[in-house]
Structure 1
Amino acid sequence: MPRATPREKGTPHDLAAELSAEGRIWRLPGVYAPQADSYFLSAVMRREGIGAGMDVLDVCTGSGVLALGAARLGARVTAVDVSRRAVVSARLNALAARVPVTVRRGDLLTGVSPGSFDVVVSNPPYVPAPDTQLPLRGACRAGTRDMAAASCWDRICGQAPGVLRPGGRLLMVHSALCDPDETVRRLTQAGLAAEVSDRLSIPFGPVMTARIRWLRENGLVPAGTTTEELVVVRACRD
C-alpha cells in the first residue's frame, strides 16, 4: 500500500468537518462519546486512502464512529467491542447511517482470523488512572487505560501483527502522556515498521478534566497545563 505523507501538526478546527460529516451518533449510557481523538483518527484514515476493496477492523469501536467512517469510504468493515452496550450502539448507528458494518462482541483481537485485514484502526482506553483495574462499567471504563500489564493498548500492540495482511497498516490514537515512543518500540518488537505519524494539541477533554488532579499530583501533567497532545501511531507490516 502507498505510504501517505506524514502530517506533524493538525488543528482542532479541522475536526469540526469530521463531526459534521459523521452526523448524529447515538450511544447507550456508559459508551464513549466520540470526541477530538475519534475525529482526529478519522481524518488520518481518510488521508491514508482507506476505500473500496479493503477489509478494515475497528477495535474498541465504542459508538462505531470510526467504523462508520471507514464504511462510508467504501471499505468492508468489522467492528469489535467487549461492551454489550457498545455493540448495540454501533449497530444502531450503522443502521441509522445506512452503511454496512459487521459489529461483533469480542475481547480485542482474540479470535480474529490471521492475516484477514488490510487496516486495523483503534481508539482504545488510554488515559492513565489511579486504579490498577478497569472500572466494571460506565464512562470511566471507556476512557481509562488499565495500568496493569495486560492493558488494552499493550495487547493490541502484540496481537495486531497477526491479523494484518502483508502491507497492512495499524492506526491507533492516544495521548502523548502514554509514552508513544514506548508504543512504537512495542510495535517494532512485534515486527511492524512503526512511527508517530500525526500530532494534534487540543484542550483537555472530559476524561482528562475529571482526572487532572491525580495526573498533576503524580507528575504526569505540569501545573497550569490545560492542553494535551494527541498522537496517531502508524505501523505497517512488510
Structure 2
Amino acid sequence: MHNPLRIPHRALLRPPGVYPPQADTWLLARALVEAGIPRGAHALDVFTGTGALAIAAARIGAATVTAVDISRRAAAAAWLNLRLRGVAAEVHCGDFASVFGHHHYDLVVANPPYVPAPNDTAVGRARAWDAGADGRAILDRLCDLVPAALAPRGTALIVHSALSDPGRTLDTLREHGLKAAVVARATVPFGPVLRARAAWLTETERIDPSDDTEDLVVIRGDRIRR
C-alpha cells in the first residue's frame, strides 16, 4: 500500500517487539493527509508504535504532538524517530487513557489493537494487536474517551478491521455527539496473526473458510458542538 509519508520502512527505528508500520498505518496516514486538518493543530497519536503517525501529524502542520504507547520499547522508538526528524513531541509510556482528561486536541489519530483473539488478556508483543474475542477490548474504551478529548471542531481518525465491528464504532462516536463516517477502506491479505488463527476465526463464524483477506477501515469522528 502507498506510504504517504514517503519514509522508507527501514528509516524508522524499530526495536524487536515494536509494531511495524504496515497497511493499517499507511491507510490511516493517507486519511490524515486528506483530512484537511488546519495547520497549528494540537495532535495526539495513541498506540504510537514507531511514531509514524505522530510524524505524519507534524508533517501536515501540527503545532504540538503528543504520543503514547504502553510498550516501553515503542515509546523509546517513537521518541527517537520523532527527534531524528526534528519533531519535539511529548511521548508518554503507559495506558492510552493516561493522556486523556488533561488537554483538548484538534486531532486524535489511533491505530489500536483490534484483532479478535481467543484469549481475553494480551501479553508481550501481542498487546499491539490482540483485543479480546470481538476485537473491541480497546476500541470500546477508546470510543468512549476520544469524544471528550476533542477540542471544538476537533477530528478523530481511528483505523481497525471490519472484523471488529465498524458499525459499533460509528454508533458509539455518534452517541457521544460526534459526526462519524467511514472515510477510507482497503482490502489486504491476511498477515501472520490472522493466518495463524484462521481456524479459530472460522470455527467461531467470524470468517468464512475461504477467506484470506480482511477489510480495513478508517473512521472519522468530528466534534461539531460541545
1:50 to 20, 37, 62: 37
For residue 19 of structure 1, report the CA deviation from its aligned partner: 6.1
Cα contact 2:120–2:131 (8 A) shared by 1: no
**Alignment match, 2:160:** 174
**Alignment match, 1:124:** 112
Q: Which runs of 5+ in 2 are unaligned?
A: none
Residue type of the alignment partner of 1:65: A
Q: SS state of the match for residue 197, structure 2?
A: helix
For residue 21 of structure 1, report the CA deviation from its aligned partner: 3.4
Residue type of the alignment partner of 2:191: G
For residue 145 of structure 1, report the CA deviation from its aligned partner: 1.4
Query: Residues 104-183 of structure 1 correspond to what in structure 2 (within 5 A)?
Result: 104-113=92-101, 116-135=104-123, 137-138=124-125, 140-147=126-133, 151-183=137-169
Query: Residues 6-21 of structure 1 correspond to what in structure 2 (within 5 A)?
Result: 12=1, 15=2, 17-18=3-4, 20-21=6-7
Higher RCO structure, 1 or 2 (CA under 8 Å, sep 6+) = 1
Partners of 2:5 and 2:105 in 1: CA distance? 26
Partners of 2:210 and 2:97 in 1: CA distance? 39
**Alignment match, 1:33:** 20
Scaled by the length of structure 1, the TM-score of the pair is 0.86
Please provide the CA RMSD for this pair: 2.0
Scaled by the length of structure 2, the TM-score of the pair is 0.90
Equivalent residue pairs, number: 222
Deviates more, 1:86-95 or 1:200-209: 200-209
Cα contact 1:22–1:69 (8 A) shared by 2: no
Partners of 2:147 and 2:185 in 1: CA distance? 23
Given the alignment of the two structures, is residue 90 of structure 1 paired with residue 78 of structure 2, yes or no? yes
**Alignment match, 1:7:** none
Identity, % of aligned positions: 43
Cα contact 1:72–1:99 (8 A) shared by 2: no
Q: Which runs of 5+ in 1 are unaligned?
A: 1-11
Partners of 1:132 and 1:109 in 2: CA distance? 19
